[in-house]
Amino acid sequence: MELRQLEYFLAVAREGSVTRAARQLYVAQPSLSRQIQKLEEELGAPLFDRSRRGMRLTPVGEIFLEYVQRGFDQFEAGHQAIRDMLGPDRGLIRLAFLPTLGSELLPEVLASFRRRYPKVRFNLRQHTTQPILQWLAAGEIDLGIVTALPIGVWERMHFESRTLLVEELFAALALDHPLSKRSTLNLAELANEPFVMVRPGSGLRTVIETACRAAGFEPQVAVEGEDMATVHGLVAAGLGVSLLPDLAVPERRGPMPGRRLQVAAISLTPPAALADRCGLASRSLPTSGGAHLPRYAAGLHRQATSILTVRLCCRPGGLG
């Protein structure tokens, strides 16, 4: 029995599909299938029920999954404990982050961190919230910057987190939209408007849908984009309206002469229910009792919150 086979087994069990697991692991699908078959032959029992609908664990597979996951959790806990003991002044930190943070904020945070800890190296990935959570659960990254996690998800997936930022969301409209000159809007006023959304799996999608339902309607999705920058451009082109957090609406920070695609960003009333949480997440360690994030995470958190506070204070309206 090889460690690689166990990793493949976990991926297929998690994804419920050989195709998706192979794509996630960057391996050929036939190779992954052969390794699963070899593992089943060695155990003397099938681990999966195979059908057109996907791969479902058999009772034997469910028992085996429990022990394999426990073993990987302990291995990761040992690995993490050593990295934590060594401190944040050396080694590799695997970090995944949201696309809106990649162009400006994150480079500044990492540069600030590296000035203090010059021997640290970073392996970076960029995606929306749901894939980042999956990478974190699988131990493929050490830290993730995510947003809009449903209540209880930290505990269910054995994560710990610290809040980086709570942003106000704004109604984003094309400049020629009939409501674009308003200073404030009630979200219910957009009930009959076509919405431009990020694809399912994004934390922002969850925030928008939850906010619209609280306002008494289901958003009518006209167009879906891969990230907030795309949503911003589609709204500016008049393909619908959306809700965007402050970081994704540069128009909030002053005039933008020369920029072709711009939106009107309008405050929502009431704004309290439309907070978009941005947090730094890591896996809980069995030995930590859920008491703290790794030491290097605390260092990154200090740098990020310091920079975010300065940024927010410099914006029109400050932190209020």
Between 288 and 160, whose confidence is greater? 160
pLDDT value for 153? 52
Give CATH for domain 3-71: 1.10.10.10
pTM of full prediction above 0.85 = no
Q: Any idea which residue has 């040992």 for tokens?
A: 78
Between 288 and 107, whose confidence is greater? 107
**DSSP string for 193-221:** SEEEEEPTT-HHHHHHHHHHHHTT---EE
Helix (H) or strand (E) holding 6: helix 3-15
Question: Do 145 and 97 touch, CB atoms closer than 8 A?
Answer: yes
CA 104 vs. chain centroid, Å, equals 17
* Tens-digit pLDDT profile for residues 67-87: 998 888 888 777 766 765 555
Average pLDDT, the chain: 77
List the one residue out of 156, 317, 152 whose CA is nearest residue 249.
317
pLDDT at 126 over 60: yes
CATH C-level class of 81-164+281-314:
alpha beta
Sequence-ordered list of residues with C-beta below 8 angstroms from that of 278, at least 6 positions apart, any chain: 98, 101, 145, 146, 147, 163, 164, 165, 166, 167
Beta strands in the chain (DSSP E): 48-51, 54-57, 91-97, 120-126, 143-147, 159-174, 184-185, 194-198, 220-225, 242-245, 263-268, 275-283
Kindly state the average pLDDT of the residues 96-103. Answer: 75
**DSSP string for 94-107:** EEEE-GGGTTTHHH
Question: Which ranges in the chain are annotated with CATH 3.40.190.290?
Answer: 166-276
List the one residue out of 273, 312, 263 whose CA is nearest residue 148.
273
**Amino acid at site 198:** V
* Tens-digit pLDDT profile for residues 161-205: 677 767 778 899 999 999 999 989 999 999 999 999 988 867 778
| Weakest mean pLDDT among 159-173, 249-263, 267-281 | 267-281
Question: Which ranges in the chain are annotated with CATH 1.10.10.10?
Answer: 3-71
pLDDT value for 314? 37
Question: Which ranges in the chain are annotated with CATH 3.40.190.10?
Answer: 81-164+281-314
Terminal C-alpha separation, the chain:
58
Alpha-carbon span 134 to 281, nearest angstrom: 12
Give CATH for domain 166-276: 3.40.190.290
Sign of CA dihedral 118, 133, 130, 249: negative
pLDDT value for 86? 58
